[in-house]
Amino acid sequence: MNNIDYNKKFNEMIEEIQKSNIRPSLFLHACCSPCLTYPFSILAKYFDVTVGFFNPNIYPKEEYDKRLENVKKFLNNYCKDNNIKFNLIVNEEDFEKYNKDLLIRKDDFEGGMACLKCHQYRLELAYKYAYEHKFDFFTTVMTVSCLKPSAELNKIAFDLEKKYPTTKYLYSDFKKNNGQLIGIKLAKEFDIYRQNYCGCKFSLLERDKRLINRK
């Protein structure tokens, strides 16, 4: 699936939705507010969006709370300015299980197999929720980040669609068309906190090492 133009597939699906004159429901997995800004601004035009903050990877708890607070801040302010309704669902049940699985990240590196498992874990948690709550569509904001492999994220979610077939997967490659840059501008405009590490405790330790080496 690696040569697929996911942005083109996204545009084709949006075109179909527009033709149908229906405004479907969409469950949007969001890892953090800076990654949420641009995808949400696009998707809210076509869908009734429910944002899912399903991220047991974020460490420590203070950082988790800060990222969640900033998701709320962005949604409240952006939706008020643009007269949009939204829902936000927060899943806080899976920290223990996630942290057991995370131990494999200890001997890996950012972007390696452990990160793929982390993406898989969070996407499945969110996709399952979308399916059980009868959402029409599911997608994730994570394809906006240049540090995240769009092909692999789309492949994971495409496979999940077979398991949860009544909720369609909306392909995406939000980093196309300067998506990440537009998202950063929106984050600045809405005074959103932008973290400097991915999320888990290993990525935090790596961030600290980088900062020490720079000094």
CB of 204 to ligand SF4, least distance (A): 9
150/203 with CB nearer ligand SF4: 203
Q: Which residues of 109-135 are buried (b: 16+ CB within 10 A; e: fewer)?
A: eeeeebbbbbbbbbbbbbbbbbbeeeb
Contact between 29 and ligand SF4 per CB under 6 A: no
Contact between 200 and ligand SF4 per CB under 6 A: yes
CB of 25 to ligand SF4, least distance (A): 27
Among 26, 44, 71, 118, indicate the residue that binds ligand SF4 (CB under 6 A): 118
Q: At what angle do helices 113-132 and 95-102 cross, to 10 degrees?
A: 160
**87 SS3 class:** strand
Residue from 23, 4, 31, 26 nearest 144 by CA = 31
Chain residues 135-164 in contact with ligand SF4, contact rule CB under 6 A: none
Select the span of 17-25, 79-87, 124-132, 199-207 touching ligand SF4 (CB under 6 A): 199-207
User: By the 8 A CB rule, do 114 and 6 touch?
Assistant: no
- Binding stretches for ligand SF4 (CB under 6 A): 57, 105, 110, 114-115, 118, 198-200, 202-203
